[in-house]
C-alpha cells in the first residue's frame, strides 16, 4: 500500500457562489438569465445559512477537510466598504470547521468578483491588483489558525471567462452560443477559447501580491489552484502539446513557484493532435458535462504539475465526475485514487485529496450537472447523502491505516 504523507487531508470542496445563494452584489449574479439557456443560481443550496449541516455531514462521514470560499462581493459590496458582519460570518464558518475536527481550506476568489470591480475594468483595470490586495488585507484577520489558503481558483479558467466576457461586449450576438465554461458538450457551440496569456500574466501578478499580504499577516500555507487538462499528445504532436500546455497550464504553474503548495484540479483528459486540442468524441461513457470518462487524468495532472513546479507540495483541490449514477461516481473516484497513489509512489508530494463537490450545486449557468456527494432538494434544501459520501469516508479511514 502506498504510504500517504502524515496528516494527509481527506475531504470535499465547494465554491461560495455555487452553494450559498443570493450573491446579489457579484458580477456573475448580474449576468445570470441574460443569455439563452442560462439558469439562475437563486437560493442555490442555501449553504450561507446551512453551512454547519453541510460540515457536520462531511465530518460524520469520516472526512477531515473542507474547502470553501469567502465571497468578495459580500465582504466589499461597494468599493472600500468592508462588511464587518460578513467577515464575522466567514469567521464563524472557520470556527465551525475547527469545532467539527475539519481542516478548513479557504479560497479567497472562486470566479466571482464584486459587480463594481467588473464594471471598472475587472482584472484588466488599472487598479485590479491593488483592489484584490486590499480585499486580502481585509480578510486576513479572520484567517487566524487557518493552515491552507487558496488565493484564486483556476486562474486559467478565469482567464477564459474574462476573454468570453470581453467577446460579449464586442459582439452581443455571441451570447446566442453561450454555454457554461465548465460544460464541454459536443454540438454547435463554439470551441472553448484558450486562455489569453496577457490576462494570465495579470492574474499571476495579482496572486503574487496577495501571497505577500497573506504571508505578512497569517501563518497559512499559500497557493492557488490550476485546472489541469491532462493533455496527451498524438504521435508527432509533441511540440504542439508543449505549446498548448504553456498557454493552458504552465504559465500558471510557473506562477505558483515560491508558493507553499499548488492545487491540482482534474476531471478528464484530452488528446492533442498536430492541429491542436481534439474535442471529446461522442461516447456513451461521457459525463453530464460532455467530457470523457478518464479517471487516469488525475495521475497525468499530478505528474505534470510536479514536473513543472519542481516537486512542489500538491493538494488535490478538485476531482470528480458529473453523473446521475452514484455507483459510477464511486467507480470513477476509486480508480482516480489508485492512479493518484501510483503518482505518489513515483515521488509526487501530495498532501491531500478534496473531492468535487460536497453538494450537487449550481454549475455556472446550469443545474443539471451533478457532481455532489450529497443531493440537495432545491425547494426544501433537504440534504440527502449519497452512498459515495460514506464510501469516501470509509476509504479515507482505510488508507489512513
CA angle 111, 157, 304 (to 5 degrees): 130
Proportion of the chain above pLDDT 70, given as a percent:
94
pLDDT at 259: 98
3-state SS assignment for residue 41: coil
pLDDT at 173: 64
Cell 452584489, located at residue: 25
- The cell for 337 is 485514487
Mutual angle of helices 155-170 and 197-217, in 10-degree steps: 130
Rounded to whole angstroms, how far apart are CA atoms 395 and 37?
38
pLDDT at 189: 40
Task: Classify residue 233 as exposed, middle or buried by CB count within 10 Å of its CB (0-12, 13-18, 19+).
Answer: middle
Decide if pLDDT at 75 tops 90.
yes
pLDDT at 36: 81
- The cell for 222 is 499559500
Which residues are 26's β-sheet partners? 114
Provide the phi-psi class of 346: left if phi over 0, else alpha when psi is between -120 and 50, else beta: alpha
Instruction: Supply the DSSP symbol for 213.
Output: H
Rounded to whole angstroms, how far apart are CA atoms 42 and 45?
9
When pLDDT is averaged across residues 48-58 and rounded to a whole number, the result is: 99
Instruction: Supply the DSSP symbol for 101.
Output: T
Per residue in 99-145, pLDDT (tens digit) is: 999 999 999 999 999 999 999 999 999 999 999 999 999 999 999 99
> Residue by residue, what is the 3-state secondary structure of 254-302?
HHCCCCCCEEEEECCCEEEECCEECCCCCCCCCCCCCCCCCCCHHHHHH
When pLDDT is averaged across residues 288-298 and rounded to a whole number, the result is: 97
Contact, 124 vs 203, CB < 8 A? no
> Counting every residue, how long is the chain?
401
Strands 65-69 and 103-107, bridge-based pairing = parallel
Per residue in 201-243, pLDDT (tens digit) is: 999 999 999 999 999 999 999 999 999 999 999 999 999 999 9
- The cell for 260 is 507553499
Which residues are known catalytic residues? Answer: 154
Closest CA to 117 of 154, 171, 71: 71
pLDDT at 9: 98
Rounded to whole angstroms, how far apart are CA atoms 385 and 377?
11
pLDDT band, very low/low/confident/very high, at 1 (cuts 50, 70, 90): low
pLDDT at 307: 98
Proportion of the chain above pLDDT 90, given as a percent:
90
Rounded to whole angstroms, how far apart are CA atoms 137 and 141?
8
Per residue in 3-32, pLDDT (tens digit) is: 899 999 999 999 999 999 999 999 999 999
Task: State the chain's mean pLDDT as an integer.
Answer: 94
Amino acid at each position: 500500500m502506498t504510504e500517504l504523507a502524515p496528516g494527509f487531508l481527506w475531504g470535499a470542496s465547494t465554491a461560495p457562489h455555487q452553494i450559498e445563494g443570493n450573491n446579489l452584489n457579484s458580477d456573475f449574479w448580474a449576468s445570470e438569465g441574460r443569455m439563452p439557456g442560462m439558469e439562475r443560481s437563486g437560493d442555490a443550496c442555501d449553504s450561507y445559512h446551512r453551512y454547519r449541516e453541510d460540515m457536520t455531514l462531511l465530518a460524520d462521514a469520516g472526512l477531515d477537510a473542507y474547502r470553501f470560499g469567502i465571497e468578495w462581493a459580500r465582504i466589499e459590496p461597494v468599493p472600500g466598504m468592508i462588511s464587518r458582519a460578513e467577515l464575522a460570518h466567514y469567521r464563524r464558518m472557520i470556527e465551525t470547521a475547527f469545532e467539527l475536527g475539519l481542516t478548513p481550506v479557504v479560497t479567497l476568489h472562486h470566479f466571482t468578483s464584486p459587480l463594481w470591480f467588473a464594471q471598472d475594468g475587472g482584472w484588466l483595470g488599472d487598479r485590479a491588483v491593488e483592489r484584490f490586495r486590499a480585499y486580502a488585507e481585509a480578510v486576513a484577520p479572520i484567517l487566524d489558525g487557518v493552515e491552507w489558503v487558496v488565493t484564486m481558483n483556476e486562474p486559467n479558467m478565469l482567464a477564459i471567462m474574462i476573454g468570453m466576457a470581453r467577446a460579449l461586449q464586442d459582439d452581443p450576438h455571441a451570447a446566442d452560443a453561450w454555454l457554461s465554461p465548465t460544460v464541454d458538450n459536443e454540438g454547435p457551440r463554439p470551441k472553448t477559447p484558450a486562455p489569453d496569456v496577457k490576462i494570465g500574466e495579470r492574474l499571476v501578478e495579482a496572486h503574487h501580491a496577495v501571497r505577500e499580504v497573506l504571508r505578512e499577516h497569517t501563518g497559512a500555507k499559500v497557493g492557488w489552484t490550476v485546472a489541469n487538462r491532462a493533455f496527451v499528445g498524438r504521435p508527432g504532436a509533441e511540440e504542439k502539446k508543449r505549446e498548448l500546455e504553456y498557454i493552458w497550464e504552465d504559465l500558471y504553474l510557473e506562477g505558483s513557484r515560491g508558493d507553499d503548495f499548488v492545487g491540482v484540479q482534474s476531471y478528464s483528459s484530452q488528446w492533442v493532435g498536430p492541429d491542436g486540442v481534439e474535442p471529446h468524441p461522442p461516447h456513451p461513457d461521457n459525463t453530464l458535462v460532455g467530457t470523457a470518462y478518464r479517471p487516469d487524468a488525475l495521475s497525468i495532472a499530478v505528474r505534470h504539475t510536479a514536473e513543472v513546479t519542481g516537486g512542489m507540495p500538491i493538494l488535490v483541490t478538485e476531482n470528480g465526475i458529473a453523473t446521475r449514477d452514484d455507483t459510477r461516481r464511486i467507480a470513477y473516484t476509486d480508480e482516480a485514487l489508485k492512479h493518484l497513489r501510483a503518482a505518489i509512489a513515483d515521488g509526487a508530494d501530495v498532501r491531500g485529496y478534496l473531492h468535487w463537490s460536497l453538494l450537487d450545486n449550481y454549475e455556472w449557468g446550469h443545474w443539471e450537472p451533478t457532481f455532489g456527494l450529497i443531493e440537495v432538494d432545491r425547494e426544501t434544501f433537504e440534504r440527502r447523502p449519497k452512498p459515495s459520501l460514506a464510501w469516501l469516508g470509509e476509504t479515507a479511514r482505510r488508507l489512513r491505516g
